[in-house]
Amino acid sequence: MQKGEMYVGWSTKEDVRKRGGSGGLVTSMLAAALEKKLVDAVVVLKKINEFEAVPIITSDVNEVLNSAGSLHSVPSNFAKLIADRKLKVALPAKGCDARAIIEQGKRNAINLDNTFIVGLNCGGSMHPVVTREMLEVMYKIKPEDVHGEEIEKGKLIFETKDGKEHAITIDELEEKGYGRRESCRYCTIKVPNNSDIACGNWGVIGDLVGKATFVEINSEKGAKLLQNAVDAGYVQVQKPDEKGVAIRAKIKGVMEDLGKKWKGKIFVPIENGRLEYFRKELEHCIDCGACKTVCPTCSCGAVSKCTEYHLRGDAYKMSMYHLVRFTHLADACIGCGQCTDVCPVDIPLTRLYRMFANPIQEQLKYEPGMDMRKPPYFEVKLNE
C-alpha cells in the first residue's frame, strides 16, 4: 500500500461494522494499531448519550472497539488533548482536528512523526444544545427518545426508540437557524487530505452503502496504519469502483463550493463602524478565558501576552485581551468554532476572529494546518 491509493474497506468484526459510522474501518484500524504496538495509545470518544461524549486517551483495545460510530453533535477538538504528552498515538480527526494537530506540531507541542492522524470527511458538526432544541422545535421529538442519527442525501435523519425515522433537509434546518455550526457551514476542508489517511462514506456505492468506508491514503504513515490493520485481520479492503471515485470527487467539489458560498454570505465587509461593531460584540465579555483555554492552535500556557491584559480594571473601551488574540491568531486561526461553542455569553467569537484572519491568510496565501510551512509570523523580525 502507498500514498495516493484509494480503497473501500470494512471491519471484520461484525458488531463493529454494524455500529460504525460507515463500516467500522476506522475503529478497527485504531484497535489494530494498538494491539500490534504501532502506537502506545489511541484517542476516541467515549459516548455518554446521543449528544454527549468525552474524548479519552486509552491503551485498552476493547475501549477503542466500543467507540465505533459518528457523533455529529459532539464538536470536540482533540489537538490539545495530546499536546505536550510525548505520546506515540493514533486518533480520528475531522479536518479541524487535523489542522490543529499540525499547527501544534509546528509549535513543537506535538511530534507529528509519532502521531497517526486518521482523517474523517466532515460535512459539519452541530452544537449539542442547539441539536436538543432543534429536535423539540423542528422534529417534535424528545431528545431522550433518540436512538440514532444519520445524514443521507442532504437530510438529517433521527431514529427514535420506537424504530421510526424522522427526516428534514439540512437546508430547511439551516434556514431556521438550526443544523450545522456557523463555522462548519463555511469550512472548506471536507476531505481531510492533511491527515495520514482520509476516511468517509462519500464514494461508497451499491450494496456496500452504510457498510463500508472509503479511504484515501495521504502519507506513508497512513499506508502503514491500513496495511497493519489488514495484516492483523481487523480490516478487509478492496479497490473502489471507478464510479464511486468519481461520485466522491463530485460531492467533495460541491461541498467545497457550498462552503465558499457561505463564507461570502457571512463575511460581508463592514463599510463604516467596524470598530463600533467589534466593541459592541465584545462588550459583554466577562473575561472568563474559556475561549483561550479551548483554542486548539494556541500553545501558550496560562501566562501569556493576552492574559496580561485580562482584567478590565483599565480605561480601555474594548478588551485588550481580545485585541492581542486577534493579532496573534491572524495567521493561526483555523475557524474550528471551539471559541464560539464555549463562550458563556454567546459572543460569535469565531466570526470575529475570522474577520481578522481571513484577509491576512488570503493575502499571505497561507492556510494554517493545511501545509507544513512555518506560520508567517514566526518569520517576522522586530526592530529595536
Considering the complex, what minimum distance in angstroms separates the CB of residue 100 from ligand SF4? 7
Q: Rule CB under 6 A: choose which of 43, 44, 89, 349 binds ligand SF4.
A: 349
Query: In the chain, count of helices (H) and strands (E)?
Result: 16, 11
In the complex, the smallest distance separating the C-beta of residue 112 from ligand FAD, rounded to whole angstroms, is: 19
- Contact 135/148 with Cβ under 8 angstroms? no
Which of residues 104, 115, 125, 350 is near ligand FAD by CB under 6 A? 125
Amino acid at site 11: S
Does 286 help bind ligand SF4 (rule: CB under 6 A)?
yes
**Per-residue exposure over 33-71, b if at least 16 CB sit within 10 Å of its own CB, e if not:** bbeeebbebbbbbebeebbebebbbbeebeebbbbbbbb
Q: Between 39 and 78, how does the x/- string for binding to ligand SF4 read (CB under 6 A)?
A: ------------------------------------x---
Does 311 contact ligand SF4 by CB under 6 A?
Answer: no
DSSP per-residue string spanning 219-285: SHHHHHHHHHHHHTTSEEEEPPPHHHHHHHHHHHHHHHHHHHHHHHHH-----S-HHHHHHHHHTT-
> Which strands sit side by side in the sheet containing 155-160, from one edge to the other?
146-152, 155-160, 165-169
Binding residue for ligand FAD, selected from 8, 21, 332, 350, defined by CB under 6 A: 21
Nearer CB in complex with ligand FAD: 234/321: 234
The verdict on 329 binding ligand SF4 (CB under 6 A) reads: yes
User: What is d(CA 335, CA 324) in angstroms, rounded to the nearest whole number?
Assistant: 17
- From the list 16-24, 81-89, 163-171, 288-296, the region that binds ligand FAD by CB under 6 A is 16-24
Q: Residue 43 pairs with which residues in a beta bridge?
A: 57
Q: Which of 27, 104, 218, 228 binds ligand FAD (CB under 6 A)?
A: 27
Binding mask 174-193 for ligand SF4 (x = CB under 6 A): ---------xx--x-x----
* Of 49, 4, 9, 47, nearest in space to 28 by CA: 9
Per CB under 6 A, which region of 70-78, 168-176, 234-242, 297-305 contacts ligand FAD? 70-78
> Cβ atoms within 10 A of the Cβ of 231, count?
11
CB of 357 to ligand SF4, least distance (A): 7
Here's the x/- map for ligand FAD, 208-247, by CB under 6 A: it reads as -----x----------------------------------
Q: Which 112-141 residues touch ligand SF4, going by CB under 6 A? A: 122, 124-125
95 near ligand FAD, judged by CB under 6 A: no
Place of cell 484497535: 31
Phi/psi at 16 (5° precision): -70, -40
Judged by the rule CB under 6 A, the positions of this chain that interact with ligand FAD are: 20-27, 44-45, 67-72, 74, 76, 92, 94, 120-123, 125, 199-202, 213
